[in-house]
């Protein structure tokens, strides 16, 4: 049993699998967009647990939903259903194109379900030879072996033995490339409607529309991975709604539970029929606690005022970052949409995104990276302007220190 003195960052190295490299600080309390560590030092949270904490920390609607449900029912097997799962599924179908919902625990599991459904649909309606999945370079779809293979970053999938087959990667936003490759052997195209981990890359409308048309032409399914873009993150409830292109399957997680693990795959009645009883499942999928919290989250962020507020906050973030950049020009552009934003480093600063993350942490503001050249911001969708302003001041202090040290070299 660890002693109180050992509950520090050093204990991580003793007891945890070393697939993470966490910062030295250990937060112990959060409220809104602020966190406090073991020494009661305060931090402003521009990271949101990587686009998860969409209502900040310990939002009253989430706390109430969780504590009320905790007094009622925690878990059932999927031999039975439960009221929170039914309410959440009903709400999601009301708010989207979908007729049917499958619940899981993480974005990777939702994406695994989507890919299995696409393959099963092709087998049932065409043949086992219609198995090609097209995805895109720099995409990210999860850490299961199937999803990490479909993701377009080989550093995450190499070194684990033979990979799932019939997966092809193409450049994002290159419609000509997909038009040349796609055929009647293609069963699905999987894409993020705004690439997150790959560097905050937005698609062109022409690209998304063209992919939809190619999928229709070749009887392939279009899967939108909205694990990161969904649930209000871009200023629309789901990013596809702002693009005007409807997928066949949509996956979502991260912000869906506001910090409580929950995910969903959404699709149509016709497609859902191909996952018959026993073909797929999840022990914790549709958990009453998770669904109760997610229902409270969706009820809150689907309000027009909240979604409009995301677009307003995007402008506040852009203005703050550009003000910093005028004094310390290290960014070449600000990319993204809503509160999924990336500040791209200038050529002379490329490779130093993590340096900025660490320096920002020392100044009391939490940011993210998207690769080595992009500083990423995914804060609460309801973050106060005073928190944005103060966080920008702290970020500027961090960048000032790095900039002045860089100038002296």
- Asked whether residue 227 is marked as a ligand-binding residue, the answer is yes
**Where does residue 284 rank: exposed (0-12), middle (13-18), buried (19+ CB within 10 A)?**
middle
List, in sequence order, every residue forming a beta bridge with 41; answer none if it has no partner. none
Which among 103, 130, 254, 377 is annotated as catalytic?
A: 254
- 225: annotated active-site residue: yes
User: Tell me, what DSSP letter sits at residue 346?
Assistant: P
Strands 221-225 and 249-252: parallel
- For residue 389, say whether it is annotated as part of any ligand binding site: no
Q: Is 254 annotated in the active site?
A: yes
Question: Chain centroid to CA 185: how far?
Answer: 29
Catalytic residue among 131, 225, 355, 373: 225
Rounded CA separation 62/55 (Å): 9
Residue with tokens 């997680």: 253
Q: How far apart are CA 329 and CA 313, in angstroms?
A: 22
How far apart (Å, rounded) are the C-alpha atoms in residues 33 and 365? 10
Handedness of CA 309, 315, 318, 320 (dihedral sign): negative
Q: Is 143 annotated as a binding residue?
A: yes
Distance (Å) of CA 63 to CA 35, 164, 289, 290, 293: 17, 41, 11, 12, 8
The position carrying tokens 């419609």 is 175
225 labelled ligand-binding: yes
Tokens of 159: 């070194």
DSSP summary character for residue 370: S
Q: How far is Cα 61 from Cα 67, in angstroms, rounded to an integer?
A: 10
- By residue count, the chain amounts to 409
136 is in an annotated binding site: no
- Does the annotation place 42 within a ligand binding site? no
| Sign of the dihedral through C-alpha 259, 104, 92, 266 | positive
Instruction: Give the active site residue among 140, 146, 207, 331.
Output: 140
* Three-class secondary structure of residue 120 per DSSP: helix
d(CA 228, CA 245): 18
φ, ψ of residue 270 to 5 degrees: the values are -60, -40
Distance separating alpha carbons of residues 254 and 337, to the nearest angstrom? 17
| 396 annotated among ligand-binding-site residues | no
Ligand-binding annotation for 107, yes or no, is: yes
- Annotated binding-site positions: 107-108, 140, 143, 225-228, 282-283
- Annotated binding-site positions for N(2)-acetyl-L-ornithine: 143, 282
- Annotated binding-site positions for pyridoxal 5'-phosphate: 107-108, 140, 225-228, 283
Question: Which are the catalytic amino acids?
Answer: 140, 225, 254
């Amino acid at each position: 049993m660890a002693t109180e003195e050992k509950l520090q960052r050093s204990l991580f190295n003793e007891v945890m699998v070393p697939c993470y490299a966490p910062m030295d600080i250990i937060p112990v309390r959060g409220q809104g967009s602020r966190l406090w560590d073991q020494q009661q030092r305060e931090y402003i949270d521009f990271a949101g647990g990587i686009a998860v904490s969409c209502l900040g920390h310990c939002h009253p609607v989430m706390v109430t939903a969780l504590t009320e449900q905790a007094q009622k029912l925690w878990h059932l097997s999927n031999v039975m259903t439960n009221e929170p799962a039914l309410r959440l599924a009903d709400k999601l179908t009301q708010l989207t194109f979908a007729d049917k919902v499958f619940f899981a625990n993480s974005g990777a599991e939702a994406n695994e379900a989507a890919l299995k459904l696409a393959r099963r649909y092709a087998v049932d309606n065409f043949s086992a030879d219609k198995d090609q999945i097209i995805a895109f370079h720099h995409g990210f779809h999860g850490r299961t072996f199937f999803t990490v293979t479909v993701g377009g970053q080989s550093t995450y999938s190499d070194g684990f033995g033979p990979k799932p087959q019939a997966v092809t990667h193409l450049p994002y936003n290159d419609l000509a490339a997909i038009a040349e490759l796609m055929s009647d052997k293609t069963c699905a195209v999987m894409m993020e409607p705004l690439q997150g981990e790959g560097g905050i890359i937005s698609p062109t409308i022409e690209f998304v529309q063209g992919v939809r048309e190619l999928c229709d032409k070749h009887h392939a399914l279009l899967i939108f991975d909205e694990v990161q873009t969904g649930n209000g993150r871009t200023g629309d409830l789901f990013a596809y709604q702002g693009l005007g292109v409807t997928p066949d399957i949509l996956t979502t997680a991260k912000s869906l539970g506001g910090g409580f693990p929950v995910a969903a795959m959404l699709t149509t009645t016709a497609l859902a029929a191909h996952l018959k009883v026993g073909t797929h499942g999840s022990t914790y999928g549709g958990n009453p606690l998770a669904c109760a919290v997610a229902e409270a989250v969706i009820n809150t962020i689907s309000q027009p005022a909240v979604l409009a507020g995301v677009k307003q906050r995007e402008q506040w973030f852009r203005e703050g970052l550009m003000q910093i950049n005028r004094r310390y020009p290290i960014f070449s552009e600000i990319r993204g949409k809503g509160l999924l934003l990336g500040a791209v480093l200038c050529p002379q600063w490329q490779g130093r995104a993590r340096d900025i993350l660490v320096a920002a942490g020392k100044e009391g503001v939490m940011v993210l990276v998207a690769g080595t050249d992009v500083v990423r911001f995914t804060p609460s969708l309801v973050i106060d302007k005073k928190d944005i302003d103060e966080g920008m001041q702290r970020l500027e202090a961090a960048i000032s220190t790095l900039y002045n040290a860089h100038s002296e070299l």
